[in-house]
Amino acid sequence: MNPLSATEIRRSFVNCSKGEASRTQLPDLAEVPWPDLDFLGWQDPSGSQRAYLVVERDDGPVGLLLRQTSGVGAGRSSMCQICVTPHSGRSVALCVARRAGAAGKKGDSRGIYICRDLACSLYVRGKRMSDAARLRETLSVEASVERLRRNLEEFVDRVMAA
């Protein structure tokens, strides 16, 4: 992923108001491992249930404000629908995004189960390890990255659909 500025990130949000976007607490952009990312994702440091996801698209970056649930039950395993990484405990959360445009203003939303820490790109590349037993993957890293990007694009498309 190409590095983004704070201004580019704040302007990219499609499912929240400009005021909400301007109040977003961004991660330390100097510390972000940009070359290893397929999207920028972070949790709100205030401890709220807010999380953020920014993906590069042909027409520019698209940002989504997400609401995270408390996650799947403590003793259960679950799998991220973006990177297909299994996790134990509450390391996968249902992330719900209000749809863009008029549908979102009416309360319509889309959800997906995703790694709570939004580090999917790092899991796929083996730079971060899950605490759950991992199934032996037969895909190459490149194919896994492509699958992650495709799953992410499908979710963003569902949020932006008119």
Report phi then psi at 121, rounded to 5: -60, -40
Question: From first to last of its 162 residues, what are the pLDDT tens digits of the chain?
Answer: 999 999 999 999 999 999 999 999 999 999 999 999 999 999 998 878 999 999 999 999 999 999 998 765 555 778 999 999 998 878 899 999 999 988 888 889 999 999 999 999 999 999 998 877 666 778 899 999 999 999 999 999 999 986
Map out the domains of the chain as residue ranges: 6-160
**Looking at residue 72, what is its pLDDT?**
59
**Looking at residue 136, what is its pLDDT?**
72
**Looking at residue 78, what is its pLDDT?**
87
**Looking at residue 162, what is its pLDDT?**
67
Evaluate whether 99 touches 110 at the Cβ level (below 8 Å): yes
Distance (Å, rounded) from C-alpha 56 to C-alpha 71? 27
In the chain, the amino acid numbered 65 is L
